[in-house]
């Protein structure tokens, strides 16, 4: 690893993945635990990374958002098969502010903006026609004008408390470096493969 800042290191690996990964280099799994204590895991897209943490966006009525409201501690995993690397993150999810969510939403393709309005993410769908009808209704509602961000759609920033970098090595003697943050200070150590 070339960085003494683990979040910056994730950014460096992500840039490399953007050049090497054939599909969705920003794909990451998000693990949550609901109020019932049951874990849930799904894929999302990493849509922002800065010194504060890693950001993804979702419908605030989705299963993952309900879990985060019940228990904000989440785990992320980015895996780049072509680079034989992965990053594991544990931290606390915090909703991004409205200005940040608005800015991201405004930059999305129009069809994705309409889709955010039309989808009742994670809720039961009585048939594809229902979804298509909702898409048509919202497309007509907004016409050719600006599509505002729905109040029920925003992002979460995962503020890392632990970050593990894993790199493939011969004979399964992989390189594992863990960074932990305590009182704002990062420290690192190695793990056996």
Over 70: is that where the pLDDT of 138 sits? yes
In a domain, 100, yes or no: yes
In a domain, 63, yes or no: yes
Q: State which residues form the domain around 95.
A: 6-108+151-191
Tell me, what's the pLDDT at 28? 98
In a domain, 52, yes or no: yes
Q: How far is CA 42 from the centre of its chain?
A: 10
Average pLDDT of the segment spanning 112-131: 94
Tell me, what's the pLDDT at 128? 94
- Radius of gyration of the chain from its Cα atoms, rounded to whole angstroms: 19
CATH of residue 78? 2.30.110.10
In a domain, 179, yes or no: yes
Just list the catalytic residues.
172
Question: Mind listing the pLDDT tens digit for each residue in 56-107?
Answer: 999 999 999 999 999 999 999 999 999 999 999 999 999 999 999 999 999 9
Whether the Cβ atoms of residue 55 and residue 157 lie closer than 8 Å to each other: yes
Tell me, what's the pLDDT at 112? 97
Tell me, what's the pLDDT at 4? 85
Confidence at 2, pLDDT banded by 50, 70, 90:
low
- The DSSP code sequence of 7-30 is HHHHHHHHHHHHHH-SS-TTEEEE
Segments in the chain forming alpha helices (H): 6-20, 63-70, 98-106, 110-118, 128-142
In a domain, 171, yes or no: yes
In a domain, 167, yes or no: yes
- Domain count for the chain, please give it: 1
Tell me, what's the pLDDT at 22? 83
For 192, left (φ over 0), alpha (ψ -120 to 50), or beta? beta
In a domain, 139, yes or no: no
In a domain, 123, yes or no: no
Over 80: is that where the pLDDT of 135 sits? yes
């Amino acid at each position: 690893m070339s960085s003494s800042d683990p979040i910056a290191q994730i950014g460096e690996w992500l840039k490399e993945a953007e050049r090497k990964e054939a599909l969705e280099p920003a794909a990451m799994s998000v693990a949550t635990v609901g109020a019932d204590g049951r874990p849930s895991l799904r894929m999302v897209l990493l849509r922002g990374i800065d010194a504060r943490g890693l950001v993804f966006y979702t419908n605030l009525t989705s299963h993952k958002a309900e879990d985060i409201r019940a228990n904000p501690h989440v785990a992320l995993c980015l895996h780049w098969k072509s680079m034989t690397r992965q990053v594991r993150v544990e931290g606390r999810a915090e909703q991004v502010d409205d200005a940040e969510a608005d800015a991201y939403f405004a930059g999305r393709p129009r069809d994705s903006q309409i889709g955010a309005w039309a989808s009742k993410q994670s809720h039961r769908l009585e048939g594809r026609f229902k979804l298509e009808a909702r898409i048509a209704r919202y497309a007509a509602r907004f016409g050719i004008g600006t599509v505002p961000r729905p109040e029920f759609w925003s992002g979460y920033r995962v503020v890392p408390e632990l970050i593990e970098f894993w790199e493939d090595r011969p004979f399964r003697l992989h390189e594992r470096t863990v960074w932990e943050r305590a009182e704002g200070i990062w420290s690192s150590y190695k793990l056996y493969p």
